[in-house]
Structure 1
Amino acid sequence: MIIGSTGSGKSTFISFLIANLLTKYDMSVVALDRMNGLEIMTDFFEGQYNTANTDGGFYINPFSLKDTEENRQFLANWIKFMLNIDSDNQQDNKASQSIDKVIRDTYNYMGEQKNQINLLEIAKNLGSSEQDFNEILKSQGEKIYFKNFQDCLDFSKSPLSVINMDAFANDKNLWG
């Protein structure tokens, strides 16, 4: 994190670092931006500049990750984090196992059609066994940035993806 006053060169410094990383190393970069400071550099490197807004300019779908055991575990842990479930807590053990099973069963059922899985699909598959959690996931899944089956962070097009965070800071509707 770089902190400094307006006009002190933070975006210029970050642009310099990112430009060096992209020209010297084969890697992908995600950067969070404010006030379009990285937009010109993103255009220069033919990257993706995503603007979060209520029209869906920014959207993510963690379920579009490649189907691996590690990614399945990440997704289950992400949902447990959203629901404040502690896998080590005996009281949360049943809910934790239900989420693990839903992730496993959904991916096994969908197979190569992973572009049809999103948070709402997981909520639907969780069913009535965990009704409280189901409602929370549905409300999260209906938010503009989780609704899509695709993910705007597509590194097959470019190794650089920048997210303009101004809307998150200024619009409470995006937070739900």
Structure 2
Amino acid sequence: MGKNDPMQSLGSNERPAGRGMSMRMGSAGMAVMLVVFLVAVVFAANQNDVIGWLVVIISLGWLLIFGFVVFSLRSAARKAAARLQGHGAFGAPGQSPAGPPAADRARDLKLDHSFKIVQVQVGVVRDYLGKDEGMVERALETIEITSHNARSMMKGSSEGPVEGTVVE
């Protein structure tokens, strides 16, 4: 991890590399808007005419809008960073930002479905054993395909799913 690595600085009190620039830009923009407002006030006070005071009101409105946007974005960014850091979103390399629980849940649901298919096909084999060899053969093929696919989900195998006809 290098000095400018944002992952390294999240755990410490340092700012991440990209965040400091946006904070400085927001502060610089706020300073510019404040200077524009103060200049408008000074000119309006010196000239003492209606147009000068309208410019003051308009610049005050822009200052308030800009301030609202800057402070809302800063607070939203802080909340998002705290949420991401609190949920461990920046985990090990190769780990998705959503983390493993969502992937594990999906895999578990697929495995559960595979086991249900196997249970149904075992019932088919019991019902048709000695009566209809074609039905038993198709049920055994379905069990084989489903078991292969389930094992590949568990092992993370690079082999693709087995193709065939599923009998339910």
Both structures adopt the same fold (TM-score exceeding 0.5): no
User: Which structure: larger Rg?
Assistant: 2
Give the shorter-chain TM-score range: under 0.3
Higher helix share: 2
Higher strand share: 1
Q: TM (normalized to structure 1)? A: 0.22
Q: TM (normalized to structure 2)? A: 0.23
